[in-house]
Amino acid sequence: MNNRQSKIGDGKSAAVLAPGPWLAAVTAEELAGYDLVIGVNRAVAVARCDWWVNLDGHLFWTIVRDEKAFEDVPDVLKPIFICSRGTWYPINLKPESNGFRWMDSRTVEGTIPRRPVRWAKFSFTTAIVLAAHLGARRIDCYGATWSGVADFDGYTSGKNQRTDSRWERERKVYEELREMLAGRGVAVRRMMNEPVNQLTS
């Protein structure tokens, strides 16, 4: 584990990368200023990420085996994979999982319980909770477009359920989570169209 994958401490910043179309505009220079970068689903292939939140196990095979995103990446630089135990078990049986470390997504519940805000339903909101769990006090979210079916590079999959109602549910959970974290002194903002949260004392 590299030091960026350990607890980063209060006052640090994290970038959460979602795979929506807005992510295509993000530059390496922007991300270089963060203490921690967390990739969500296919967004992990856009930049070097310290952690990879992927609650949908099928995307592991898309990214690692089909797109070969980590083919030349040393094990020490591979992101730590976050999903449920049930999702990780069949992945761990295959050689493609070699070099990846795994953390149960339930580990972060000590920071933010799953209820009343149901953040564990979505990889994106789980990534935000992970950032808070790791000690970030400023969390900037890129690529959370909440519309359409395509990723940042035009990729689509029939296994993804990206309907308007689905995006509305994720947006609602995000807003509830952002409000909860603001009450704990953690500023969360969706980049490109939102002001920074006002921290509470």
**Domain holding 155: CATH number?**
3.90.1480.10
How much is the pLDDT for 4? 66
User: What is the full per-residue pLDDT of the chain (201 aa) written as tens digits?
Assistant: 555 666 566 679 999 999 999 999 899 899 999 999 999 999 999 999 999 999 988 889 999 999 999 999 999 999 999 999 999 999 999 999 999 999 999 999 888 899 899 999 999 999 999 999 999 999 999 999 999 999 999 998 877 778 999 999 999 999 999 999 999 999 999 997 444 444 433
Range of the domain at 176: 3-190
How much is the pLDDT for 52? 97
Residue 68, Ramachandran bin (φ over 0: left; ψ between -120 and 50: alpha; else beta): left
Cβ 17 vs Cβ 46: under 8 Å? yes
Please count the structural domains in the chain.
Answer: 1
How much is the pLDDT for 3? 58
How much is the pLDDT for 197? 46
How far is the C-alpha of 108 from the C-alpha of 126, rounded, in Å?
Answer: 9
How far is the C-alpha of 36 from the C-alpha of 105, rounded, in Å?
Answer: 18
In a domain, 195, yes or no: no
How far is the C-alpha of 53 from the C-alpha of 36, rounded, in Å?
Answer: 13
In a domain, 197, yes or no: no
How much is the pLDDT for 162? 84
In a domain, 62, yes or no: yes
